[in-house]
Structure 1
Amino acid sequence: MYDPAHFLPSFVWRADRDGLVRYVNPWASRYLGIPAEQIIGRTWRDFVHPDDINSVLDAVRTMGDGSLLRNVDVRLLRGDRVFHWHTLHLQAQRDESGRIGDTVGVATDIHHCRHAWAMYEASERRLKAAFHGARMGAWEWDMKNREVRMTEQLAELYSFPPGTEAVALSDLWNRVAPEYREPFQQKVERALQCGGPFEFDFVLDNDTHPARWLRMRGHAEFDGQGELARVHGVTFDISRQRAAEDSLILSERRYRALVESTGALVWSAHPDGEIRPADEPWGKFTGANPVRLENWGWLDFVHPDDREVAREAWLDVLQKGTAGSITFRMRRYDGRYRMVQAHAAPLYDEHGTLQEWFGTTTDVTAQHEAQAAIEARSLRLNVAMQAAEIHIVALDVASWTLSFEVAGEPQERETLAYEAALSRVHPDDRPVLDRYVRELAAGGDPGAHFEFRVQSPGGEQWMEGSALLQRAADGKPLRLIASVVDITDRKRMELMLRETDRRKDEFLAMLAHELRNPLAPIRTAIALFEKQDGIDQRSAGLIKLMRRQTEHMTRIVDDLLEVSRITQGRIALQLEPLLVGTAVYHAVEAMAASVEARGQHMHVDVSDATAWVRGDATRISQILVNILNNASKYTPEKGNISISARADEQSVEIVTTDTGTGISAELLPKVFELFSQGERTLDRSSGGLGIGLSLVKKLVELHDGTITVQSEGEGRGTTVTVRLPRLHHHERHSAQVLSEPAASAKSTALRLLIVDDNRDAADSLAMLCELEGHSTRTAYSSVEAIEAAAQLRPDAALLDIGLPDIDGYELARRLRPKDETLPFLIAITGYGQAEDRLRAQSAGFDYHFVKPVNAEGLLKLLSSLTAQEPGSRTGDVAPQAADPDAMT
C-alpha cells in the first residue's frame, strides 16, 4: 500500500491511546537521529520539550467536542539534542466504542520562521520606541479617498483621541492654525505638483503657549496613469527647536547691534591659530575677497613692518592659551594702513579642552554668532546621521567624481571617479542605478528613492537612498547630493518572508490536490445512492446532507487552489462581453437550494437588465456565488438577503445586503486578508478557511474593479458592493451564450475501462457507470489496464493521471496508438490547472475532469459519446451538457 508519509519531508508519527509510538516515517527517524525500530514502543513524551507536553495533552483532550483535528506549536528534540519549534498537526481516530484511539501527528519545522518573526516584532518595538522618543509620527495620505492613516505618535501630536488610526484629510488640515492654514495648503499643493520630497513647518491650532510647531517631511507617489495616489511622510515636534532658534536670533540681533555700534570686526580661529574671518565686514574693510584672509592669509594685509611682529604675537597667544591683544597696522580697501587692535580670547569646554579662539578686530560679532549657530546645526545633523547610519554622497556633475562622507566621521572623506564607484555596484543593479543618476543629473525626475546592491569583501550589501540635484546660480546642474542607508538586514528579512509565502502557496496547492483524491469516491458513492429507487425519507435526507457537505468541502479545496493560482499570477482571464443581469440570476440560481434549505428570503433587483461588462464568465459567477454564499452562511434562518445591480455611464454596481451577524469594527479592516475570520464558535457553524473574500477581492481586481464591505457592527448585517467597468454598446462584439444545454441523443451502452490506483475511486465510478447501462472493467495499475484493454477493446477509457507505475499520460499514448480514434480518452485527475489540461491534451486525452468528478456531467458526457461518430471529436471542447471542468 502506498504510504504518502514515507516520502513526506515532515516529522510524522502515530501513537496509541497510551502515548506509545506505533509508527514513524523516515524523516522523523533522521530528525531524531534514532533508527525507527528503536523509536517504536517509546512514548512521544520522550521527544517533546517538557514545558510543551501539557499543550499537546490539552489539544488531544479538546478533540472531544466533535472535531478530530488540532494544531499546537511545540519544541521537538533533534538528534543533536537541540529543541526546534514545530507546528504539530494532530488527527485522532475513534475506535469502535467511539473513544479516541490512535493519534497521528505531523510536525512542520517553524523554528526559523518563529525566530524571524521574533526579530521582526523586536524591530517594530524599537521603531515605535524611536518614534515615541523623537516625538515623531508617520503618516500616509490616500489622495483618492482623501483619507489619512497615521501612527499613534502622530495622533498624539495632533491631539486626536487615543487609538485614532485614520481621519479625513480635511480633519488633519483643520488642525493647522487659521493664520497658517492657507499658506500650508498652498505649500502642500506646490510640493505635490513638483512630485519630489518636500519639507515645511507650521503651527497647530491650539491654546498652548508657546505655540506648538510641527515640521512635515513627505514624498508624493503617483499611479501608473500619472495621477497622484498617495503621499508618505513623517511629522515631528520642533517647538523647542523653534523657541531656541527664536531666542538665538534675538540674542544675535542684540549682540550685532551692540558690536555694530562699536565699529569692531570679529574673527575666529581654530585652536591651532588658523583664522576664520567673517565675510562682509572684512570684505568692506579690506576691499578684497575674505577668502584671502583665511588661515594665515590675513598677514598679507598687515603692514610689512608689522607682519612678523603680528605673527609672533599671535603664536605667543596660541602657546599660552590665554586671552591676548595685538596692535598692528592693516591695509584698508582704499590702500591706506590703519591701526587696529585685535583681541583674542580662547574658548574652553566643560572638560577644559580648548575649542577655538574668538577675536575682535572690526565689527563682525553678529556674523561670528551666526557661524557658531551653523556649526551647532551641523553637529546636530552629524549626530542624526550617525544614529541613522546615513552616508552622504556628492557627485560633481562637471568632473563626474564622487566624494563620500561617512556617518559619524565628517572629516573622513573619500573621492572616487564615477565609473570606479559604479563598478562596485552589483552587475544586475548597475544599469538601473546609472540610468537614475544620469537622468537626475540631466535635470529629470526619476523618483525620490533607489535601491542597489554593493559587492564588498564582507558579502553583498543592500543600500537605499534618495538624491537631489543642486543647481548653480545660473540654473545649470552643479552636483548631486544623495543620502544612502544600509538596508541589508531589512532586505534579508523581506526575502525570507517572500520565501515563506512561496512555500505557503506551494503547500496550499499540494493540500488541495491531496484532498481531491478522497473526495472523488465519496462524491461518486453519493451519486450511486441518489440513483437508487425506493429510498426512504430519512435516508434521502442523509444523502442530501452528505452531498451538501461534500460540495462544501469541494468549494473549500477549489478556493485553496484559486488563492494559490492568483498569488502566483497563474490565472488568465477569458474576457468577453457579459450581461450583468444574466450573471446575477445565474448566481442566484446556483445558491437557491442553499438559501431555501435555511428558510431564508432572497430579493433580486436588476433595474438595468441590459448593462454589460467585459469579464470572465466563470470568474464573475465565482465572485457573485462566493458573496451570496457568505451572506447565506452568516445570516440566520428566516433572514433576508438581497442582491441588486445598477449602472451609470462609467461602471456597473452589484450590491449584496443581508440581515446576518455583521462584522465587528475590529475585523472590518481585515476582511480581505487571507485566512481572516471573525470569532470562531466551538460548533464551527460559520465555518470555512477565511479565504472567500480574499479570493473575491483578487478576482474583482483582475477585472479592474473594486469591492467594499460595510457593516454597522455585529448583529446589524453586511453590505458588499462590487464595481466593474461598464462595457458600452459600441464596444461589444460578441457575448457568451447562457442557455440550457441541448437535449442529448438517445444513449447506448459503452464498454468502459476505468483505471485508478485508488480502488475505492475506481470501484465506485464503475458502479455509477453500470447503473447507466454501461459495461465496465476496472484496473488498479497501468499494467493491468493495458492487459484489460487488449481483451475488452473499450469504447472509452477513464484514466487517473497519478498512477504509480506508468503515469496516465503515457498510458493514454499506449491505449490509443497514433492515428487511431478509439477509445475515447477521459482524464479523471486531481490536477486541474491550465498547464495540466494542456499536457493532457498533448498526451491525446479528449476530455479532462477534475476530482471529485461531477457525476451528472460525466454521465451526460458518456451519453453524448454514444451519439458521436469516430473521428468527430474536436479534442479541446467538451459537450455542452458536460461539466465545465471537462475541457482539455
Structure 2
Amino acid sequence: MAAPILAVMFATVLKLGAKSVESRHSRFACARRKDLIPPMSDSLPPSSVVPPAPAVPDIGAAIYDSSPDCVKVLDVDGRMLSMNKNGQCAMEIDDFAPLVGLAWASLWPPETVATVLTALDAARSGGTGRFGAFCQTAKGTPKWWEVIVAPILGADGQPGRILAMSRDVTGARQADDELRQSVERLQLATDAAELGLWTWDPVSDKVTWDNERTYDILGVGHGEPPVNATRFAADFLHPDDVARFAQAVAASVAGDLRFQFQGRVLDKDGAVRWVELYGRPHDCAGQPRTQLVGTIADITARKLAEDKLRDADRRKDEFLAMLAHELRNPLAPIGAAAELLKLGKFDEARVRRTSEIISRQVSHMTHLVNDLLDVSRVTGGVVKLDTAPLDLRDIVADAVEQSGPLILGRGHKLCIHVPPEASTVLGDAKRLVQIVGNLLNNAAKYTPDGGKIDLRIALDDERVTLSVADNGIGMEHQLACRVFDLFSQAEHTSDRTAGGLGLGLALVKSLVEMHGGTVSCVSGGTGAGSTFSVSLPRLCDGRQTPLAAHAPGRVAGQARTLDILVVDDNVDAAAMLAMLLEASGHRMTVEHSARDALARIETARFDVCLLDIGLPEMDGNALAARLRSHPHTRGALLVAITGYGQESDRQRSQAAGFDQHMVKPVDTARLMDVLAEVA
C-alpha cells in the first residue's frame, strides 16, 4: 500500500508552487538541538527495534530517485531515515550516513523549528503540513525552500513513515525580491515626480490607471472608472487643444512608436491647468505591441515659469534696446561738440556753451551708468546700511532739495504734507533720501509740464507711511502690479520722452525692503495719475537723533601750485585730465605705463599721483604700493582714477595705499575739492 501512496505524494509535491516566506539566516545544524526538539531517546534503538526503510516497488523507487526535489523519509518521530541523491546534491551533503537518526527539525534555523514540528504533527495525524522557510545547506549556501510533509500509511492504515519533500525556490524568491524592489523604486520615482501611470490600447480605446496620482491629476474620484481618450477629449481638454490631441491619438492608432502630448485641461471650477502625456508601446513576449504604457504629469507650474522667463527675456531685450537708445542720445551732442571744437576760432561764449553741453551730457551718461551699478549692488545684497534713528521729515527736506531743479524745470506744483510730531524710523540717511528722491523724480518725469505732485507723511502706532501722488500719465493695472520689477519701465512710453532706464523704482523696492518696509503703487489707469507709497516701521520712543552734521568748512588759506603725476594708458583721457588741471594752475606730468612712472619718480617729487587701475604690465594697485614705499612719493596723495567702482574694488585700492577712489568719468568738482585741501 505504501508504494501507491508514495507515488501519489510525489505527484502532489511536483505540483507545488513557489511562495515567498521570510526568515532570518542561520547556520546549517548537523546535530539535533535538544532544547528545540521534543524529548526522544538520545540514540536510535537497536536495529532490530527500528524497522528498516520499507521496500519501495520499482515505480516508487524510480520517482524517489528521479525527483528533482529534496525527498526525505522520516520515522514517525521525525528522525532522518533516507534522502534521495538529488536531495543530497541540493543540500550539498557529501555523506548522508552521519545524518541518519538525527531529528529533521534540528537541521532548520531556530526560528523555523516550531513551524517544522507543526508540519510533522499534521503528518502524524494523517494530514498534510506545508510551509516555506529559509535554511542553509550543509556547506552554508543560503537557500529558500517550499516544503510539504505527508504521512506514508502502513498496512494498518496508520502513519508508519513520514515523507518530507523540499523544493529549492531560491531563484524564484530572488526574482520576487528584485521585482518588489523594482516596483518600490518605480513607486518612489513616480511619487517624487508626481507622475500618474496609465496603460492604453489606442485601437480599442481601453485604458487602465495604475496609480492614484492619475485620478488626482484629472480630479477624478478614486472609485470612478478610468477616463479613456474619447472622454478625455470631450470632458477634460481645452477646446483649442482637442485637434492636436486627436492627431496624437490617430498617430498612435496608425502604429507610431511614441505618444506625446501637452495640452490644457479644465477642472471642475473652470480653472486651466497644463498636463503632459507620454507613452510608449508595451513589450509583451509573443504578443503584438498594441498597448501603450505611459505617464501623465501636471506641468502647470513649469508652464507658468516658462511664461515668466519668456516675459523676462522679452523685457530684457527691450531694456537693452532702450539702454542703447539712452547712451546714443548724449553721445550725439558730445560728438558734435567735439567736431565743432576742432574747427577752432570760437568766441568765449560759444566755447562756454559747447563745454556746458559736453558736461551736461557726460553727467547724464554718468547718471545712467551709476543707476545700473547701484541697482546691481543693492539687489545683489552688496550694499550695507548704516542705520540710525532718523526723522523722515528731515529725509523729505533733503530729497526735495535734490529733486527741486527737475520739478521746477517742468513747472510742477509740489505740495508737502507732514505731521507736526516726529516721524522717526531706523534707517540709512543716504539711502532713504535716495528712495524719496527717486519717487519725486519719477513723478516729475511722468507728469506733463505744469502738473501737481503731493508728498504726504502719515503716522500710526507702528508704521510711518510716505506717499507721492501725481496727476500724470498713470498706468494700466497690469503694469502697476509689476512696475517695481527690473526692465518694466520699457512699457511706460514708447517715444522715451521721459528718459531714464526705469531702474529707479526697482532700486526703491530693494532699498525699502532692506529697511524692513513695503512699497506699493496704485493708478486709476492711463491718464489718471499714480500714487506710490512707502511704509516703514516706526520708532515710537520719541527720541530723535539729528542727521550727521555736514563736514566743517575748510579754513581759507593761500592755495599753492601742486606737482601732479597722471598715469593712464588711455592717452586721450590722460591728456584731457592734465589739460584741465594745468588750466587750474598746477604743474602736470603724464606717463602711460607703471614702468615709466617708476622711472620718473627717481628724478622728480610729486604732491599728488592720479593713477589708473587698469594699467598694462603692472596694475594701479601694485604701482600705488611701490609709490607708497618710495621716499619721493611716500607722503604724496594717491588717488585712484578708474572704471572699477564696486565695493570690493574700493577695498583693494585702500589696501594698496590709495587715499581716494574716484570712478570714471571723474567728478571734476570733487577732484578740485580734494586738490584744494592738499594745496
- Please report the TM-score for the alignment, with normalisation by the length of structure 2: 0.49
The structure showing larger relative contact order (alpha-carbon pairs under 8 Å, at least 6 residues apart) is 2
Choose 1 or 2 for highest CA Rg. 2
Relative to its length, the structure with more strand (as a share) is 1
- Please report the TM-score for the alignment, with normalisation by the length of structure 1: 0.38
